[in-house]
Chains A and B, each alone.
Chain A
Amino acid sequence: MTVRVTTERFDPGAELNTFLSATDNAGAAATFTGVVRSNPQDPITALTLECYPELALNQLNDLLAQATNRFDLLAATIIHRYGTLHPGEPIVQVMTLSPHRQAAFEAAEFLMDFLKTDAPFWKQETTPQGTHWVEAKSADDEAKARWE
């Protein structure tokens, strides 16, 4: 179980290959990669993520422990970037490894649903008009609540 909180850009494919080489007794791996989005109608030029790294490591490690208790997981990794990112760059990657696909898919969704509301990152968008903080969405709270 690995957590990495970093300002460095990461390579999603290389991370997955390293993760897959960890064990050969898994039948299923699921990967979610969150990417900086810029809509053509409402473009952004940059996304800056602020972070409280000490709390982020505590929260994400706690989340991995919960996922391990709940699902049949052989391994799981969370990578989350902070600092200034640009459209198309990966922000977050969650990878899960399990004997079977259902646990791999569900654990990845569980991790992302909790990460959205419980990990101390704050997004600020830079647009041609200026910068603004992204507001928390009630849909994210609802996505988390369905696991309770």
Chain B
Amino acid sequence: MKILYFAWLRERLNRGEEEVSPPAEVSTVAELIDWLAGRDEAFALATEKRSLIKAAVDAKLVGHDASIHGASTVALFPPMTGG
């Protein structure tokens, strides 16, 4: 599974994307964030305020309760500031 990062989350992690293989019991966006935080202190610090982390699964905007089952790309990013 590919994880994409944008904006200040990308800067704080020093990477725009990475390949990960979460275990089968990691089934939602929230669980994926917890799992990523458990293996990387910088990620844990950057995502401490979960309300500031938005997500998309296969280029569809979703909530943290969304399933990541079968997903090829999960994007994590701060609140959007376009327009």
Asked if A120 is at the interface (CB within 8 A of a chain B CB), the reply is yes
Asked if B29 is at the interface (CB within 8 A of a chain A CB), the reply is no
Q: Are B81 and A121 in contact (CB under 8 A)?
A: yes
What does the 1/0 interface line of A121-148 toward B look like (CB < 8 Å)? 1111000000001111000100000000
Chain B interface size band reads 10 to 19
A contact residues around B83 at 8 Å (CB): 34, 80, 91-92, 112, 115-116, 119, 121, 140
Which of B3-11, B18-26, B35-43 lies on the face that meets chain A?
Answer: B3-11
A133 in contact with B6 given A55-B59, A118-B61, A119-B83 (CB within 8 Å):
no
Q: Are A115 and B82 in contact (CB under 8 A)?
A: yes
Restricting to B38-77, which residues have a CB under 8 Å from any CB of A?
56, 59-61, 75, 77
Chain A residue, CB-CB nearest to B16: A50
Chain B residue, CB-CB nearest to A34: B83
Looking at A34, A55, A118, A136, the one whose CB has the most chain B CB atoms below 10 A away is A55
CB distance from B74 to the nearest CB of A (A): 11
- Docked pose: A3 CA to B75 CA in angstroms: 22
Chain A interface helix/strand/loop/mixed: mixed
What does the 1/0 interface line of A96-122 toward B look like (CB < 8 Å)? 000000000000000010011111111
**Chain B interface (Cβ within 8 Å of chain A)?**
4, 6-8, 10, 56, 59-61, 75, 77-83
Known: A52-B6, A122-B82, A133-B8. 6 other contacts (CB 8 A): A34-B83, A55-B75, A59-B61, A80-B82, A112-B83, A122-B8
- Can you list 21 contacts pairing A with B, beta carbon distance less than 8 Å? A52-B6, A52-B75, A55-B59, A58-B60, A59-B61, A80-B83, A92-B83, A118-B61, A119-B83, A120-B6, A120-B56, A120-B75, A120-B80, A121-B81, A123-B82, A133-B8, A135-B79, A136-B78, A136-B79, A136-B80, A136-B81
